[in-house]
A and B are shown apart, each in its own frame.
Chain A
Amino acid sequence: MKEILKLGGILMLVTAIAGAALSMVNVITKPKIEEQKRLVTQRALVAALPTADPDSIEAVTQNDQLEYYIGYATAAKKKIVGYAFIAKKYGYSSEIETMVGVDTTGKIIGLKVIDHKETPGLGTKIEEIRYGESSPYFQDQFINRTIDNIALDKDNGEIKSITGATVSSRAMTESIVEGFKRLEQKLDGFKKPITTQEQVN
């Protein structure tokens, strides 16, 4: 009994020191990691809204909650070229987060996966770029689609799911549809010519 307490005590001491050391490292690296995350979002926005001026993209918030992003043709922010939203849904082993850009008529013009921790070799194929190609083949299927024809082949749609990664494919597809619907609601529908800035704030 005494020995167990002694051994347990030593282990506790070791883990306490380790924990203290890690919290110190965390203090230093946390702002850096957050900065990197911001850069990832920035790059995803540029990929999702290829027609927008990168400096013009601004976030629209409501009650401190991010709703969507707006991209303008120029930094002067006169003409809206599209919107971007973050689609999220739990896949096989993680939440798959995708930045999706649509133009003012409701057509997807770009997308980029921001974060996921799916199974390497299977679920990670949502981001896989085939040899000799320049963009991920799974994500390319979404380009130029509107909300009406985004569905996986297994759900009688046109988007080809990834072999061995149906769950990840479906999660990403459904998250985009859901995000799309939310955006449509917020904007009060597409196809209305939106040229002024009034709905921004």
Chain B
Amino acid sequence: MPISNEFFKGFYKENPVFKLALGLCPTLAVSNSLQNAVGMGAAATFVLLCSNVIVSLIRKGVPKKIRIPIYIVIIATFVTIVDLVMAGFAPDLHKSLGIFVPLIVVNCVILGRAEAFAGKNSVAYSFIDGLGMGIGFTFALSAVAVVRELLGSGKLWGFPIMGSGFEPVLLLILPPGAFLTLGLFVGLFNWLDNKRTTA
């Protein structure tokens, strides 16, 4: 498989959120504004990229029996780094993402890629896989967030977009709005898939 496929599969064919249904918890929780979504996406991408590279580098030396604890230690280390750096340099983002920054440790996208891909593939491929999956995850989060922020608070990236006559649909920035929007996106992706295979 050409290496470019490994990159682009993360957007559509194997999009972690819409297709693999991984990492749904942060997608639901921090997609209430585009800023949060991009911040979370960037943090998760960084962790994914680093953990994929390290896991791939040491894949031959890791005993099979303890690979999961080792992967978790590696992931947790990078998450802590992100947490510390964010607290020091982007305190507002750190505050609005709150508990979901440390929770990147248990984001299944990251352990999933370490186990399913980086543990079996070369460093270059793992790097591209991490980058593609990370951007795909950010894309999914942002897609949900754009809909929710625009309709739920009439803003985009914190700026008022909709005119003053627009009545925000409060439901959309509340948790049910996350489920509704995500469900509709997953449906859209499946529908596109069906159309492609039957055509």
Question: Does any Cβ of A come within 8 Å of B91's Cβ?
Answer: yes
- A18–B87 contact, CB under 8 A? no
- B74–A18 contact, CB under 8 A? yes
Residue among A7, A25, A30, A32 with max Cβ neighbours from chain B (10 Å): A25
Question: Does any Cβ of B come within 8 Å of A36's Cβ?
Answer: yes
Interface hit among A9-17, A58-66, A146-154: A9-17
Question: Does any Cβ of B come within 8 Å of A193's Cβ?
Answer: no
Question: Does any Cβ of B come within 8 Å of A33's Cβ?
Answer: yes
- B87–A36 contact, CB under 8 A? yes
Taking CB atoms, residues of chain B closer than 8 Å to A15 are 73
Q: What is the CA–CA distance of A171 and B114 in the complex, to the nearest angstrom?
A: 43
Taking CB atoms, residues of chain B closer than 8 Å to A120 are 98-99
Taking CB atoms, residues of chain B closer than 8 Å to A1 are none
Q: What is the number of contacts between chain A and chain B, taking CB atoms within 8 Å?
A: 54
Complex: chain A residue closest to B94, CB-CB: A36
Taking CB atoms, residues of chain B closer than 8 Å to A11 are 66, 69-70, 73
Number of B residues near A (Cβ < 8 Å) is 23
- A22–B63 contact, CB under 8 A? no
Q: What is the CA–CA distance of A18 and B170 in the complex, to the nearest angstrom?
A: 43
Taking CB atoms, residues of chain A closer than 8 Å to B84 are 25-26, 29, 33
Q: What is the CA–CA distance of A15 and B69 in the complex, to the nearest angstrom?
A: 10
- A25–B85 contact, CB under 8 A? yes
Which of A14, A22, A29 is close to B87, meaning CB atoms less than 8 Å apart? A29
Q: Restricting to B65-103, which residues have a CB under 8 Å from any CB of A?
A: 65-66, 69-70, 73-74, 76-77, 80-81, 84-85, 87-89, 91, 98-99
Quick one: CB contact mask for B44-72 with A, threshold 8 Å, 1 for yes? 00000000000000000011011001100
Complex: chain B residue closest to A119, CB-CB: B99
- A29–B66 contact, CB under 8 A? no
Question: Does any Cβ of B come within 8 Å of A76's Cβ?
Answer: no
- B74–A14 contact, CB under 8 A? yes
- A21–B77 contact, CB under 8 A? yes
- A29–B77 contact, CB under 8 A? no
Taking CB atoms, residues of chain A closer than 8 Å to B62 are 10
- A22–B80 contact, CB under 8 A? yes
Q: What is the CA–CA distance of A12 and B77 in the complex, to the nearest angstrom?
A: 14
Q: What is the CA–CA distance of A6 and B91 in the complex, to the nearest angstrom?
A: 42
Q: What is the CA–CA distance of A95 and B170 in the complex, to the nearest angstrom?
A: 31
Given A14-B74, A18-B73, A21-B77, residue A7 in contact with residue B66 (CB < 8 A)? yes
Taking CB atoms, residues of chain B closer than 8 Å to A25 are 80-81, 84-85
Taking CB atoms, residues of chain A closer than 8 Å to B74 are 14, 18
Q: Apart from A22-B80, A36-B88, A40-B91, list 12 A-B contacts with CB within 8 A.
A: A10-B63, A11-B66, A18-B74, A18-B76, A25-B80, A25-B81, A29-B84, A29-B85, A29-B88, A32-B87, A36-B87, A131-B153
Could you jot down 6 A-B contacts, CB within 8 Å? A14-B70, A25-B85, A29-B88, A33-B84, A35-B88, A131-B168
Which 5 pairs between the two chains have the least Cβ-Cβ distance? Answer: A32-B88, A18-B77, A29-B88, A29-B84, A36-B91
